[in-house]
Amino acid sequence: MAKKQYGVNVHSMIPFDDKFQIDENAFRKHLRRLGEAGVSVYIGAAGAAEGNTLTREERDRVLAIAVEELKGKVIVRAAGTEPRDVREMVEFLKSAEALKVDAAQIYSMDMGHGVLPNRREIENFFFSSIEATSLPVTISNQRKVGYPIPLDLIETLTKRYPNFVGYAYDNNDMFYMIELIRRFGDRLEIYASGVGNALFAFGMGANGFQGMEGNIAPKLVQSVVTGYVTQNVPLMHESFRKMMLLHAILRGPVRENQRAIKPVLNAYGLGGGQIRPPRFAISGEELETVLQAIEALQIPEMAGWKR
What's the whole-number average pLDDT of the chain? 95
Indicate whether 1 pLDDT > 60: no
Q: What is the pLDDT of residues 28-60, one digit of tens each?
A: 999 999 999 999 999 999 889 999 999 999 999
Specify the higher pLDDT residue, 143 or 209.
209
Within 8 A by CB and 6+ apart from 264, the residues are 216, 250, 272, 287, 290, 291, 294
d(Cα 24, Cα 200) in Å, to the nearest integer? 37
Per-residue confidence band for 253, with pLDDT thresholds at 50, 70 and 90: low
Residues shown for the chain:
307
Q: What are phi and psi of 192, to 5 degrees?
A: -80, 125
Q: What is the pLDDT of residues 113-141, one digit of tens each?
A: 989 999 999 999 999 999 999 999 999 99
Q: What is the pLDDT of residues 13-34, one digit of tens each?
A: 999 999 999 999 999 999 999 9
Indicate whether 292 pLDDT > 70: yes
Stretch 54-73: mean pLDDT, rounded?
Answer: 98
**Helices marked H in 171-232 — which ranges?**
174-184, 198-204, 218-229
The reply to whether omega before 148 is within 30° of 0 (cis) is no
Q: What is the pLDDT of residues 154-180, one digit of tens each?
A: 999 999 999 999 999 986 789 999 999
